[in-house]
Amino acid sequence: SQQGEEDPQALSIQEGENATMNCSYKTSINNLQWYRQNSGRGLVHLILIRSNEREKHSGRLRVTLDTSKKSSSLLITASRAADTASYFCATDVYNNDMRFGAGTRLTVKP
Amino acid sequence: DSGVTQTPKHLITATGQRVTLRCSPRSGDLSVYWYQQSLDQGLQFLIQYYNGEERAKGNILERFSAQQFPDLHSELNLSSLELGDSALYFCASSLRQGDTEAFFGQGTRLTVV
């Protein structure tokens, strides 16, 4: 079964705008990761946030984690057309499997 | 290039047949994951190996099996194939078992006709 659930399923914005995607999960986790997938290709790791961290930054990416609400958000600032992709969250349930949600499909219009 | 190699890239086969998908993990990675992605769907976790041992099992059908060999490459065997098995199959590898980023191969696109 899926562990993470991304929201929204699809998001369309203009270049330069910010994009926010959310991920909710069901059980306690060790860490949460965000990945990006260009159409039909392999996933690429973006950022990992551990359960004892609340916020993490990487370039134009900002990830937050709220373990009390079992949720995480990914913010992409100043989006570009090249950011068009599907974004997935993955939860690591204490060093076992890595479960993905259904993803958010982001379209950035030039 | 992630360093993870999956072969073949494409596979077309008939219902009822058996196929083997191969994954070579990134050099030094001990953990291998297999995932199935149907059209426009999320990734369904199938199975995970660490240093040759099965560590976690997801929604893997009984018709599917996998193993990780001493040289750490892994194979996913799919038998008695059905039309619904058509999907992208991804392999990912990581250094440790969890708590670290995973590197994905480009996938094997399986079409069952």
Q: For A18-72, what is each residue's pLDDT tens digit?
A: 999 999 998 888 889 999 999 888 999 999 999 999 999 999 999 999 999 999 9
Q: Are A37 and A103 in contact (CB under 8 A)?
A: yes
Whether omega before A8 lies within 30 degrees of 0, making that bond cis, reads yes
End-to-end CA distance of chain A: 36
Three-state DSSP class for B85? helix
Tokens for B102? 């995973």
Q: Which chain A residue is nearest to residue B56, measuring alpha carbons?
A: A97
Torsion angle of alpha carbons B49, B7, B28, B42, nearest 10°? -50
Q: Which chain B residue is nearest to residue A93, measuring alpha carbons?
A: B98
Whether omega before B70 lies within 30 degrees of 0, making that bond cis, reads no
Name beta bridge partners: B23. Answer: B6, B74
Cβ distance A96 to B42 less than 8 Å, yes or no, reads: no
pLDDT for residue A2: 55
Interface of B with A in 78-107 (CB under 8 A): 88, 90, 92, 96-107
Q: Are B7 and B107 in contact (CB under 8 A)?
A: no
β-strand B10-13 against B108-112: which pairing, if any?
A: parallel
Cβ distance A92 to B99 less than 8 Å, yes or no, reads: yes
Tokens for A83? 């950011």
Closest CA to B44 of A23, A46, A27, A90: A90
β-strand B31-37 against B87-94: which pairing, if any?
A: antiparallel
CA distance B48 to chain A (A): 6
In order along its 113 residues, chain B shows pLDDT tens digits of 889 999 999 999 999 999 999 999 999 999 999 999 998 678 899 999 999 999 989 889 999 999 999 999 999 999 999 999 999 999 999 998 777 899 999 999 999 99
Tokens for A40? 């039909």
Q: Are A65 and A89 in contact (CB under 8 A)?
A: no
β-strand A10-14 against A98-100: which pairing, if any?
A: unpaired
pLDDT for residue A5: 83
Contacts of B48 in chain A (CB under 8 A): 96-98
